[in-house]
Structure 1
Amino acid sequence: MVLLKPTLPAIPILVSYITGILLYTCRTPPRQEWVHILCAVAFLGACLAAFYRALSPSVYYFRTAFLLTGCCCIGYSITAYRDAWQDPRFIGHHLAQADRIRVRLEDDPAEKQKTYLLPCRVTGYYKGDSLYTASGKVNIYLYKHDSIPLLRAGTTVTLPQQLVRIQNSGNPHAFDFARYAAYQQLYFQGFYAYKDILKTETDQQLPALLRWRTHLTDILRSNIKDHTTQSVVLAMLLNERALLHDDIWKAYAATGIVHIISISGMHIQVFLFMVLFLLRWLKHPRYKWIKYVTALVLVWTYILLTNSPPSAVRAGIMFSLTSIALFTEKEEAPLNSLAATAFLMLLLQPYWLFNLGMQLSFLCMLSIFTFYQPIRNLIFFRNRVLRSLWEGIALSIAVQVWVTPAVIYYFHQFPLWVVLVNLPAGIYSFILMAGGLVIMAAGYWTEMAWLGNLLTGITTLFNKLVFFFADVTPRSLSHFAIDSISAVLLTFVLLSWARYLSICRTRTMLLAGIAGSCILMLDQYFITAGQADQDKLVVYRSNGYSLTQKVQGFQGYVYAPDTADAATGRLLLAPGLHWSLQHPLLPLEPNTLFRWKDRTALILTATHLRPQAVDILIIPEHVAFDPDRWASQFNPRLVVLDGSFTRRKSKKWVEALNNYNFAVYSVVLQGALVLE
């Protein structure tokens, strides 16, 4: 009798370890002292049971229960250890007494619409003239300025203490950035002008990998002149995604191929293939170990060079486990290797459990391991070309079984053409990555602009194909929002039907698929019925633009003046468009009193309006400050400063209106306002 099931021993260990992580991240985690005591008792019990020679089932289950309980406690303890708030030096504990902060740039600044994003790590803070050690990651946003200094990775900057807690935009169904950042141990951000920089110190001795990465980036930029191709190659090879245009992101996401511009297992496999191809001359079995050890070293060096994204680390660990299995001449169980890889990664960084890249990477591999072979075996072609083509299509279909619910849940869209686009996307990714690697290798000695031009031509043709399929995607599938319960039901339905059609044609699986489909349709019916009764007002946090929406049933009315950026407006409204899918959005006129429920609201844009009492007075940034007239003419219960304000002006107006005894809500400072 063995401790766990021989074929898949890593799966129950992984599940218990993940349970410990989830226990810590829940809202009311148990006290750490009790967890440590339980962990010690569990392993003590497992050790005592291990010395018991009897192999009865009761001893086996007793020993297994103790071991899994201990793994759960370890997951809890390591997650607590990795939590930045548990560190007494964390900057979040010292903001109240800090006058200035000292931060070091972790990477080169990334250009945003109105700012430069500086990913930084806090090294200390000043209280008076005394410098104290501190830690923690922060995002510094530096407003664009003509004379902005050249800040590169490794530069240390001293700034006044203006850090604030990262908050969500509050826009309906928008991406939860605050939670996403918290899982990366990033809790604070600061907004500064150029003149706020008190001191800069340039570190001449940067880490070797960082210097190498910067040099390779410069080689790619000097040999690839086209901005689109340059941004895609940098994202694909070095995980530099800040330069990617929003249109590229949206088109790739709509067609389900966004994975090709994020470092993933596919890119590691291409890199590994090229390394093994260059080492193909080592054919003698005696030197086989040299080939794989060299490949391992190069693969892990490349992963570190790309800042170790979880999906790449997953591919590196799985390749390492496969290499060990080859050396020891033992059979490898794919699902067990996948579970062992997940366990090792979460042992290193428990918060990777919530990383979207890691989730999609493991779901993709799980789909391939469980459904690729059965789907491929459904059709057999004698022709080698047709057989290879079908294998590629079968792979694309298999991947979608586990991945599709996650894609719909996170990205609010269904990639209708993913099976058709995945095959050319894989070919394009291989060509672009191979060409980029050649440029980086040969660029040390010679100009490779001709190859850069060739990659530009291929990228242009491929992007035309992608944009074509993105344009013909039905609008209803581009704004397909589901909640977590619907995502679980959809996963169950897809698994049931996929298993019935490709693996197990039994009555049980057929009934499971039919029952799951009926429950999912019933769930969507109740959601739709609830939307029919909705009546709400939303003032969006819209990055310098006025954007207000009134939703009544399935009809949406939008106020967005001509000065607003159309693309920004569509991007902000997209996650909540399932409210009004049945009818087009209609303009919401300014200076019009509109009602919802038993309340009234007015978007103020003109100065000469007849007196009328309103509950909500929404003020855009261009309106002149006149609180006396607002009080006498409208007597609002709440004054709302919309998303067109800057942070500084919004703070100034909030303080001034508080002095006039107004109840004030600033969308810029407090997030979107949703009134139901």
Structure 2
Amino acid sequence: MKFINFSIVKFSFFLTVGILVAHYKSSFEYGYLLISSLIILVIFWYTSRKILIQKIYFGLITYICFFSLGALLYQYKTPAFQYNHYSKKITDHDLLYLKVTEVLKKDPYQFKYIVEVISVHNMPSSGKLLLNIKRDTTTTELNVDNLLIVNSSIKKIPAPLNPHQFDYSRYMKNLGVYDQITVTNTNNLKKIKGLATLRGRASKLRNYLIEKLKQNHLSSDELSIVKALVLGEKRDINKDLYSDYAAAGAIHILAVSGLHTGIIYMILLYILSPIKRLLKNEKGIAVIIVILLWGFTFLTGLSPSVIRTVTMFSFFALAKIINRDTNATNTLFLSYFTLLIINPNWLFHVGFQLSYLAVLFILWLVPIWNKVYYPKHPFLKKIWNIITVTLAAQVGIVPISLFYFHQFPGLFLITNLMVLPLIGFILFLGILLILLSSFNMTPVWFAMAYNYLIKLLNSFISWIADQDFFLFQDISFNFNEVFIAYLLILMVLFYWKSKVQNIVVLTLLSFLVIFCSNLLQKYLHSKNELIVFHKTRHSFIGNKIGHQLEIYKYDSLKKYKNSYPVKNYRIYLDINEYSEKLMPLAFNYKNKKIIIIDSLGLYPKNYQVDIVLLVNSPRLNLNRMLDSLEPKFIVADGNNYKSLITLWRKSCIERGITFHSTYQKGAYHIR
């Protein structure tokens, strides 16, 4: 499949590069670049319009146009280039008029929402905020389209306080959310019922269907899976059950994605096939299917992931409607291009990346494998199709999955061979259950049978997940390795298809680059450091020597290896030897004397040190300690009262001593 010859693929590539460049270099004026390149393009076209084969310069300028278009579209999504953005109008304390646009997963302490800013101090504004509302017995959940008047201060979403952790602020930035407000007293918040939008109506319908589902008395785990499968609502899935699906290689089942949309597409095609034969109007059936797919999107609350997937299928259906004999890959990239024009931030969504990579590799690899072997028996055909589609999707997403999730489910093929043949049936019954529930017509036996079916599915997934030997975890995989892995996959597949000798050389070069990259990565990650981690109500220090990590801790029973923040730290730095020991009272590190003072407040008198680490809110006279030990640095970790930290900081500032609180500055490093 020579899909690299399609213009839309090239345009999509340069549009993507432009978005990426603007993401890391947003200050450049890409608008001037776009205007100037368009002018040059028009001049080239006018002067050479009668020439059949255009010169290379024409193509280069065209690609620069799409590059600058991508960069400009991303740039205008950033606050600096939005004239009415709230960040240009805020003060220390603001009166905000907000509208709820999305309900996020709540945590044990707060309800979370994405809100649109309508005005600041009665001045029309734009932009999105993260709204946190403290949970208590009097707090009720908000709904999409609720209008709010909030008197609060806007603050930055904090970056992680420990190295190599999930960066929630970056994740929210990719959603177009840069700041947050926190409401601890609901007296500072006034709720008003707003005018219903399309998204609000969709969210209301989904909530209504969920309430109807609950009346069927499904078990909690089974109910949460049904909501995820059919309605795209994953917020209520048990954490352990969700981890089981990930470990079994079946996480795609829980995300309403291309799999679900494709199954619904096939179900609709089958149901409407008699009408198709009767009317002999293939275009009309395609239009009906597209409308019904968008109706399904409405049922899921117009979730962005479902919108992206249905848009992709709509383009495939559109190609049929207009009788355009086009390559499927071409259509795929046309939908990709369109979605990035609508919202360039989608490029940084993990679901967007996984969906398009999986479909691209399925379209690319399955035809190649089918030429090598394709069974004739109908049953073997179905098994072969599941195997090839599953393997092709895995080839496409393995590098990026390792980068994001650091694990590989070795039994993914068995899981999909068992689950995929049934998932269409399960999904069909789930949709039927919801339709019957909405009219209060669900037979008890049907609800119980479906509950048992989902229970069997969960049991099988949990059994697969329990086969720890086949689950490869804690895999260190960085962005450079992702890039090189895809380069290697492309070289191998191009050679397989074309047998060109130059591809062999490029493949060998790719192996060499991987080898050199690994050597460089090992060298960069082998540097020694001492780190005081930040964690509320816990005190522990990491002593990293090369690829070995030793944790000093107080609690002999507590294990930190697979808990925050040690797990991500050791995975990122490819730690291959790990141990834990009790916290020493004093030690030397790189010619620096370090002493630790805990809750007892004991320390040696008249003993000069370089660094004092305060843990577990020690009872001591800080000035007397400073006179006795004469330290150069004071470090307070997350296991101290904030009121004490404030007093300690003030005393250190008065005496000209450097003070580091992990609450404010994050983990403390000595390198």
Same fold by TM-score, threshold 0.5 exceeded? yes
2:100 to 85, 105, 109: 105
Matched, 1:426 2:420: yes
2:18 to 14, 17, 20: 20
Q: Say if 1:264 and 1:315, in contact at 8 Å, map to a contact too.
A: yes
Change in 2 beyond 3 A, CA 1:224/1:352: farther
What residue is the counterpart of 1:416 in the other structure?
Answer: 410
Trace 1:43-442 onto structure 2 (pairs within 5 A). 43-45=41-43, 47-49=45-47, 52-55=49-52, 57=53, 59-96=54-91, 98-108=93-103, 110-126=105-121, 131-195=122-186, 197-203=188-194, 205=196, 207-223=200-216, 225-282=218-275, 283-306=277-300, 308-309=302-303, 311-427=305-421, 429-442=423-436
Shift of 1:214: 1.9
What residue is the counterpart of 2:437 in the other structure?
Answer: 443
1:246-284 deviation line (CA, Å, top 9, x unaligned): 323433333433222222111111222233333233123
Matched, 1:539 2:537: no
Q: Say if 1:558 and 1:585, in contact at 8 Å, map to a contact too.
A: yes
Distance 1:482 1:553 in 2: 18
Change in 2 beyond 3 A, CA 1:428/1:173: farther
SS in 2 for 1:110: coil
Shift of 1:343: 0.9
Shift of 1:511: 4.6
Distance 1:151 1:443 in 2: 24
Distance 2:556 2:89 in 1: 41
What residue is the counterpart of 1:556 in the other structure?
Answer: 549
TM-score, normalised via structure 1 length: 0.87
1:129-148 deviation line (CA, Å, top 9, x unaligned): xx222222111222332332
Distance 2:534 2:420 in 1: 38
Counterpart of 1:490 in structure 2: which amino acid?
A
Change in 2 beyond 3 A, CA 1:435/1:475: closer
Counterpart of 1:609 in structure 2: which amino acid?
Y
Shift of 1:564: 10
> What is the aligned residue count?
663
Matched, 1:670 2:665: yes
Change in 2 beyond 3 A, CA 1:534/1:77: closer
1:593-618 deviation line (CA, Å, top 9, x unaligned): 23433334444324223244444434
What residue is the counterpart of 1:638 in the other structure?
Answer: 633
Give unmatched runs, 5+ long, in structure 2: none
Change in 2 beyond 3 A, CA 1:73/1:489: closer
Counterpart of 1:118 in structure 2: which amino acid?
Y
Distance 2:427 2:557 in 1: 38
Change in 2 beyond 3 A, CA 1:423/1:113: farther
SS in 2 for 1:610: coil
TM-score, normalised via structure 2 length: 0.88
What residue is the counterpart of 1:528 in the other structure?
Answer: 522
2:587 to 586, 591, 594: 594
SS in 1 for 2:273: coil
Q: Say if 1:647 and 1:669, in contact at 8 Å, map to a contact too.
A: no
Change in 2 beyond 3 A, CA 1:425/1:164: farther
Change in 2 beyond 3 A, CA 1:6/1:618: closer
Distance 1:143 1:233 in 2: 29
Shift of 1:364: 0.6
Greater alpha carbon shift after TM alignment, 657-666 vs 36-45: 657-666
Counterpart of 2:313 in structure 1: which amino acid?
F
Counterpart of 2:483 in structure 1: which amino acid?
V
1:122-179 deviation line (CA, Å, top 9, x unaligned): 22223xxxx2222221112223323324433333333333322123214332223322
SS in 2 for 1:585: strand
Counterpart of 1:419 in structure 2: which amino acid?
L
Distance 1:319 1:562 in 2: 55
Shift of 1:537: 2.5
Q: Say if 1:145 and 1:194, in contact at 8 Å, map to a contact too.
A: no
1:352-395 deviation line (CA, Å, top 9, x unaligned): 12221111111111111111122344444444323321221122
Q: Say if 2:34 and 2:65, in contact at 8 Å, map to a contact too.
A: no
Q: Say if 2:139 and 2:186, in contact at 8 Å, map to a contact too.
A: no
Matched, 1:481 2:515: no
Change in 2 beyond 3 A, CA 1:420/1:563: same
Shift of 1:293: 1.6
Q: Say if 1:13 and 1:71, in contact at 8 Å, map to a contact too.
A: yes
Distance 2:404 2:135 in 1: 31
User: How many percent identity over aligned positions?
Assistant: 18
Shift of 1:238: 3.0
1:214-269 deviation line (CA, Å, top 9, x unaligned): 21222233335322223333233333332233323433333433222222111111
1:469-495 deviation line (CA, Å, top 9, x unaligned): 444445993111122222222222333
Change in 2 beyond 3 A, CA 1:460/1:81: same
1:39-96 deviation line (CA, Å, top 9, x unaligned): 441442255257x2232x3x35344334333323322332233323322322222233
SS in 2 for 1:145: coil
Matched, 1:575 2:539: no
Q: Say if 1:7 and 1:336, in contact at 8 Å, map to a contact too.
A: no
Give unmatched runs, 5+ long, in structure 1: none
Change in 2 beyond 3 A, CA 1:16/1:103: same
Counterpart of 2:135 in structure 1: which amino acid?
K
Q: Say if 1:640 and 1:665, in contact at 8 Å, map to a contact too.
A: yes
